[in-house]
A and B are shown apart, each in its own frame.
Chain A
Amino acid sequence: MSNEMTVAPPPQPAEAPQPAKPGKPASLWSDAWYDLRRNKVFIIGAVLVFLLVLMALFPSLFSHVDAYNPATCNLANARQGVTGAHWFGTDNQGCDTYSRVIYGARVSILVGILTAVITGVVGGGLGLVAGFYGRWVDILLSRVAEIFFAIPAILGALLILSVVGRDNSQKWGVWVVVMALALLAWPLVLRIMRASVISAKNQDYVVAARALGAGSGRIMMRHILPNAIAPVIVTSTLNLGVFISAEAGLSFLGVGIQAPTISWGLMIADARARFLSAPEMLLFPALLLSITVLAFVMLGDAVRDALDPKLR
C-alpha cells in the first residue's frame, strides 16, 4: 500500500492539456496522494506538523534554554513580561516561557498521536470484526461500544484520572492520559469502521475472493481492510486535534499531566490567576496549543477531501 502511495506519476509532457489525473495504477491511495500534494491546506498542515514533531523530538533545536533544568529559572525574574532575553516573558517561577512552550510540545504531540493510534487500532480492529462477522459478535461489540459511547468524554476521563491518582499519573506520564482518552474514544472508530466494512463486505470482489476459496482471515485482511480503512484514517487524523485539546483541558483541571512535566494545559492553569497583569503567560501556550490543533485539523481535512471527494 505504501509503495503505491509513493509511486510518482509517469513523466508528462511539459504542457499537457490537463489529462485529468496521470498515474496508471489509479488506486484510491495513489489518487489521494496526487490530490494531497496539490492541496495548499495539506502542505501548510504538513509543514506545521513536521515542525511540531521536530519540536517534540528535539526541543533543544528551537531553544538553547533547557526548560527542564530548574537552574535556568530565577525567581527574581518572575512575570517579567516580554523582554529581549525572554521573548515570551517569564512565569511565576521566573522560568523562561518561550523554552517551556517549546518543551511543552512533546506531551501534546505524544498524547495526540498515541491516543489516535490506539483508538484507531482497537476501534478499527473491533469494527472490522463486528462488521465482518455480524450476528452476535456484532451485537455484543456494538452494545459494549454503546455503553462507553454514552459516557460524556471529559467527565469520564476526569473520573478515571481521579481514580488513578496524581502519584500514579506522575509515574506513568502521558500514558495515563492516553489510556483514559482511548478508553472513551474507541467506540467512535468502531462505529465508523463497522459501517465501512459492512458496505465493503457485499462488493463483488469479496464474493469473487470467496469463490476462489479465500478464507475469512485473508478476505478481511487483504480485501476488506484496505478498502474500508479510509474513513478510519480520516477520523483518526481529525481526532488527533481533539485529543490534544482534551489533554490540555484535563491538565488544566489538574487531573491530567502533572508537574514537573511541562504541558500547555498546566501552563495555562498556572497563568490563570494573574492573567490580567501577565496575559503573555497565558497567551503563548494557548497560541501554540491552537496552532497544533489547527495543524492536525488541516491535515485531517485535506486527507478527507482526498479520500472522499464527495464531501468537498
Chain B
Amino acid sequence: MGRYAIRRLLQAIPVLVGTTFLIFVIVYALPGDPIAALGGDRRLDPAYVAVLREQFHLNDPLLLRYWYYVRGVFSGDFGTTYRGVPVTQIFQGKFGVTFQLAMTALIMEAVIGLGLGLLAALRRGRWEDQAVLGFTLFLVSIPPLVMGFVLQLWLGVKLKLNTGLDIFPVAGNAEGLRSYLLPGFVLACTSIAYLTRLTRTSLVEVLRADYIRTAVAKGMSRRRVLGRHALRNSLIPLITYLGADLGSLMGGAVITETIFNLPGIGQQLFNSVYLRENTVVVGIVTVLVLVYILANLVVDMLYAVLDPRIRYE
C-alpha cells in the first residue's frame, strides 16, 4: 500500500506541473504591468523598475521563470508578492477560512446527504422517497448566488429583526464556528443533492444483492444487515464523491465568500488578480490543485479499508 501511494503521488506530478504551468501562462498573460501597478497613478523611477524587474525575473523567458517557480514550490517557497510580502504569509488565515468553510460544508453534506439518501432508499417508491427526490431537485436548481442571498436575508437579517434570535451572523467570520453555518450550507447545497441521490442509488443497488438476501434469510436483525452489509458496501462511491468534493468546495467557495464577506482564498484570489499579484494567484491555484490531488489519493487509500477485496500492490 505504501508503494501504491508513492506511485500515485508520482503520477500526480505531471498533473500538478501541467496545471501550474497552464495557470502560470494565463496569469502572466494578464493585461497590465505588475510593477507599474505598484506605483498607482505615479510613474516609478526607471532605475527602481529595472531593479524590481530583475529581482522578480520579469525579463527572463516564461519557461525559465516557471522553472524558478517550480523549484521554489518544491522547497516550500511560494515566492513573495511584488510588495515584498511572502506569499505563504498571505496564505495564513485565508486558507484557514476557506478550509473551515469547506469542512463545514463537507460535514453538512455527509450528514444530510447520507441521512436523506438512506431514508429515500429504505422507503423507495413511497412518499418519503418522493419528498427527498423533490427536495434534491430543489437544492440543485437554486444557484448558490440565489440561495446565499435568500438565506442571508431570511435567516441572517429577518430572523434577528423579527424574533431577536441571533443564530446566524449576517456576514464576516467574527463569531467563530457559528459564522460558517449559513455559508457552509449554501456552499454544500448542490453537493447535498448529489450525495443524497448517489446514496439512494448505491444503497438501492446493494439492497438487491444476493448477500443481503442471504443475510436476511439467516435471520440477522435489520439493523445489522443495514450496518454491516448494506451500508459498508454502498459506502465506496460515496467516499469517492466526498473526497473529490473537498477540492471543488474549496475552489468553488468564491461566490459564497463574496456574499457572506468571508476573508477566504476566493476573495484573496479575486483581489490579487486585480492587484496583478501574479505569485499569489499562481500560489493559490497550486495549493488548491494539491488539495484536490491529495484528497483523491486519501480516498483511494480508504478503499482498501472499506472493502478488503481491494488490494494494492
A contact residues vs B (CB 8 Å cutoff): 143-144, 146-148, 150-156, 158-160, 162-163, 165, 241, 244-245, 248-249, 252-253, 265, 268, 272, 275-276, 279, 282-283, 286-287, 289-291, 293-294, 297-298, 301, 311
Interface residues of B in 250-293 (CB under 8 A from A): 250-252, 254-255, 258, 266, 269-270, 273-274, 281, 284-285, 288-289, 292-293
Please measure, in the bound complex, the distance between the C-alpha atom of A158 and the C-alpha atom of B144, giving whole angstroms: 16
List, in ascending order, chain A residues with CB within 8 A of B254's CB.
154-155, 158, 253
Neighbour of B143 across the interface among A152, A248, A283, CB < 8 A: A248
Are B145's CB and A268's CB within 8 A?
yes
CB of A152 within 8 A of CB of B285, answer yes
Q: Bound state CA distance, A155 and B249, in angstroms?
A: 11
What are 24 A-B contacts with C-beta separation under 8 Å? A146-B15, A146-B18, A147-B15, A150-B15, A150-B289, A151-B285, A152-B252, A153-B248, A154-B254, A154-B266, A160-B26, A163-B26, A245-B145, A248-B145, A253-B255, A268-B145, A275-B149, A276-B153, A283-B150, A287-B146, A289-B143, A290-B141, A290-B143, A311-B201
CB nearest neighbor in A for B29:
A163
Instruction: List residues 28-72 of chain B with CB under 8 A from any CB of chain A.
Output: 29-31
Question: Digit string of B14-33 for contact with A (CB within 8 Å is 1, else 0)?
Answer: 11101100110011011100
Interface check B216, CB cutoff 8 A: no
Q: A297-B137, A311-B201 are in contact. Are A286 and B22 (CB under 8 A)?
A: no
Chain A residues lying within 8 Å of B270, measured Cβ to Cβ, are 158, 253
A140 CB to nearest chain B CB (Å): 11
CB pair A301–B23 under 8 Å, yes or no, is no
Give the size category of B's interface with A: 35 or more
CA of A39 to CA of B63 in the docked complex: distance in angstroms?
56
Choose one: A155, A165, A245; the contact of B285 (CB below 8 Å): A155
State the 8 A-B residue pairs at the shortest beta-carbon distance, nearest first: A152-B251, A294-B141, A147-B18, A245-B143, A286-B146, A293-B141, A249-B255, A162-B273
CA distance A289 to B18 in the complex (A): 35
Across the interface, which residues of B come within 8 angstroms of A150, CB to CB?
Answer: 15-16, 19, 289, 292-293
A147 (CB) vs chain B CBs: closest residue: B18
Using known A-B contacts A158-B273, A275-B153, determine if residue A286 contacts B30 with beta carbons closer than 8 Å.
Answer: no
**Minimum Cβ distance to chain A for residue B289 (Å):** 5
Q: Is B14 touching A152 in the complex (CB atoms < 8 A)?
A: no
Chain B residues near A146 (CB-CB < 8 A): 15, 18
Of A143, A147, A289, the residue contacting B146 (CB under 8 A) is A289
Which residues of the partner chain A approach B293 to less than 8 Å between Cβ atoms?
150
Alpha-carbon gap, A297 to B141, bound state (A): 7
Q: In the complex, are the beta carbons of B149 and A268 less than 8 A apart?
A: yes
- Smallest Cβ-Cβ distance to B27: which chain A residue: A159
A151 touches B142 (CB 8 A): no
Which of B30, B252, B281 is close to A153, meaning CB atoms less than 8 Å apart?
A: B252
Return chain A residues, CB-CB under 8 Å to B146: 268, 286-287, 289-290
Which among B15, B140, B281, B285 has the greatest number of chain A C-beta atoms within 10 A? B140
A159: contacting residue among B250, B258, B273, CB under 8 A: B273
Return the chain A residue nearest B154 by Cβ. A279
- Please name all residues of chain A whose beta carbon is closer than 8 Å to the beta carbon of B16 when the two chains form the complex: 150
- A291 vs B14: C-alpha distance when bound (angstroms): 41
Task: Provide the bound-state CA to CA distance between A244 and B141, in Å.
Answer: 10
Complex alpha-carbon distance, A148 and B258, angstroms: 25
* Chain A interface mostly: helix
Contacting pair A294 B137 (CB below 8 A): yes
Query: Which residues on the A side are within 8 Å of B117 (C-beta)?
Result: none
Indicate if B113 sits at the interface (CB-CB under 8 A): no
Q: A253, B143: Cβ atoms under 8 Å?
A: no
B247 proximal to A (CB < 8 A): yes
**Does chain A have a CB within 8 A of B155?**
no
Judge if B181 is at the interface, Cβ distance under 8 Å. no
Closest to A164 in B: B31
Chain A residues closer than 8 Å to B288, beta-carbon distance: 152, 155
Interface centre among B145, B250, B270, B292 (most CB of A within 10 A): B145
The answer to whether B250 touches A152 (Cβ under 8 A) is yes
User: A151 to B144, alpha carbons, bound, how many Å?
Assistant: 20
The distance from the CB of A63 to the nearest CB of chain B, in whole angstroms, is: 22
Residues of A within 8 A of B23 (CB): 151, 156, 159
Q: How far is the CA of A165 from the CA of B26 in the complex (A)?
A: 12
Asked whether A143 lies within 8 Å of B15 as measured between CB atoms, the reply is: yes
Nearest neighbor of B258 in chain A, beta-carbon distance = A253
Tell me the complex Cα distance, A290–B190, Å: 13
Q: Which of A154, A282, A298 contacts B149 (CB 8 A)?
A: A282
Binary interface encoding of chain B residues 139-173 relative to chain A, with 1 for a CB under 8 A from any of its CBs, else 0? 01111111001100100010000000000000000
- Nearest A-chain residue to B21, judged by Cβ: A147
Q: A143-B15, A154-B255 are in contact. List 18 more A-B contacts (CB 8 A).
A: A146-B18, A147-B22, A150-B16, A151-B251, A153-B248, A155-B252, A158-B254, A162-B30, A241-B141, A249-B255, A253-B254, A268-B145, A268-B146, A272-B149, A286-B145, A291-B141, A294-B137, A294-B141
Q: With A151-B23, A163-B29 given, is the CB distance from A252 to B289 under 8 Å?
A: no
Complex CA distance for A138 and B204, rounded to whole angstroms: 34
Tell me, in angstroms, the Cα distance from A276 to B289 when the chains sit together: 38
Q: Provide the residues of chain A in CB contact with B258, threshold 8 Å.
A: 252-253
Report how far A117 CA is from B288 CA in the complex, Å: 28
Q: Which of A155, A244, A290 has the most CB of B within 10 A?
A: A155
B-side contacts of A160, CB under 8 Å: 26
Q: In whole angstroms, how far apart are the Cα atoms of A272 and B280 in the complex?
A: 28
Pairwise interchain contact B285-A143, C-beta atoms closer than 8 A = no
Judge whether A151 and B289 touch: CB under 8 Å.
yes
